[in-house]
């Protein structure tokens, strides 16, 4: 039993990325290609950086020519490459590189993530349309829908930021997309792009207002300054 365990340990282990097992068909590989690729990974992991095609043939139980063709096919699909370098003694050394494989897998993950984000953004955009219609108490016109779409697609405003601007407009009792646009522009000038930043700016504004009120109370002879919505006043003009 100890000899069997020792043999097991000496054989080593091969690390196969789960991402490869999930997306190998998206890379244009079939089951046979996958086995060839895993066998190559195994040989390299065990120190055979550039294994003879006969070693691969023995593992696959195929002819040397078939093994060579299998390697060449993976190279044609730009999943593996042969890199040449020099060792410490200056001798030329060839080895298999799997960088192309990992780059393609990373690209697939990025593309999948983009698709998920686009779907979420589409759903969020629909929610934004609904929120405007609820707050305005009417259906949006084609021009208004186009304006909101431009905020999302061209200006890259996050849907949650647009909803924050809508809330500010509703609190000011101004039911106008033009007014909401002014709010978004004012936030953009302050580099406010998220809901958290809006809330921080709102807290900062309230604190400043509280400090001004304290200053006014400290001077009984100073007349109070009337407060008004400067953004609404500017829009009305």
Contacts of 19 (CB under 8 A, 6+ apart): 105, 108, 109
**Which tokens sit at 151?**
């905020």
Give the span between the Cα atoms of 86 and 204, in whole angstroms.
Answer: 62
Tens-place pLDDT, residues 25-38 = 999 999 999 999 99
What average pLDDT does the segment 44-59 reach?
89
Residue 236 pLDDT grade (very low, low, confident, very high; cuts 50, 70, 90): low
Alpha helices in 81-226 (DSSP H): 99-136, 142-153, 159-171, 177-189, 195-218
* Per-residue pLDDT tens digits for 135-192: 999 999 999 999 999 998 888 888 889 999 999 999 989 999 999 999 999 999 989 8
Q: Is the pLDDT of residue 229 over 70?
A: no
**For domain 110-236, is the CATH number 3.40.50.720?**
no
Task: Return the CA Rg of the chain.
Answer: 32
Residue 73: pLDDT band by 50, 70, 90 thresholds? very high
The pLDDT value given to residue 228: 45
What residue ranges of the chain are covered by domains with CATH 1.10.10.630? 110-236
Give pLDDT, residue 169: 92
Mean pLDDT score of the chain, rounded to an integer?
A: 83
Q: Where in the chain is the domain with CATH 1.10.10.10?
A: 2-97
Name the one residue in this structure whose structure tokens are 């065990």. Answer: 46
**Does position 59 have pLDDT exceeding 90, yes or no?**
yes
pLDDT-derived band at 13, boundaries 50, 70, 90? confident
Check residue 229 and report its DSSP letter. -
Task: Give domain 2-97's CATH architecture.
Answer: Orthogonal Bundle (1.10)
| Structural tokens at position 118 | 């686009």
Residue holding tokens 């186009």? 146
pLDDT of residue 6: 63
| Angle separating helix axes 142-153 and 99-136, nearest 10 degrees | 150
Give residue 213's pLDDT.
64
Q: How many CB atoms lie within 10 A of CB 101?
A: 22
Backbone angles phi, psi at 51, to 5 degrees: -65, 150
Which pTM was predicted? 0.51
Selection from 161, 182, 175 nearest residue 234 by Cα: 182
Q: Does position 227 have pLDDT exceeding 50, yes or no?
A: no
């Amino acid at each position: 039993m100890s000899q069997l365990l020792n043999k097991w340990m000496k054989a080593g282990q091969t690390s196969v990325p789960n991402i490869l097992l999930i997306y190998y068909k998206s890379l244009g590989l079939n089951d046979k290609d996958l086995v060839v690729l895993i066998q190559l990974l195994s040989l390299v992991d065990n120190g055979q950086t550039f294994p003879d095609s006969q070693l691969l043939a023995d593992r696959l139980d195929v002819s040397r020519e078939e093994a060579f063709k299998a390697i060449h096919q993976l190279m044609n699909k730009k999943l593996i490459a042969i890199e040449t370098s020099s060792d410490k003694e200056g001798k030329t050394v060839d080895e298999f590189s799997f960088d192309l494989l990992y780059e393609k897998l990373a690209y697939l993950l990025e593309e999948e993530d983009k698709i998920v984000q686009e779907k979420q953004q589409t759903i969020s955009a629909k929610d934004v349309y609904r929120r405007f219609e609820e707050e305005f108490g009417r259906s949006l016109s084609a021009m208004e829908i186009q304006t909101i779409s431009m905020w999302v697609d061209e200006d890259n405003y996050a849907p949650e930021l647009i909803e924050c601007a809508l809330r500010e407009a509703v609190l000011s009792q101004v039911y106008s997309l033009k007014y909401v646009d002014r709010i978004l522009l004012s936030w953009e000038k302050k580099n406010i792009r998220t809901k958290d930043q809006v809330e921080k700016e709102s807290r900062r504004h309230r604190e400043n207002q509280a400090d001004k009120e304290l200053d006014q109370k400290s001077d009984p002879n100073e007349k109070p300054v009337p407060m008004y919505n400067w953004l609404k006043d500017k829009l009305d003009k």
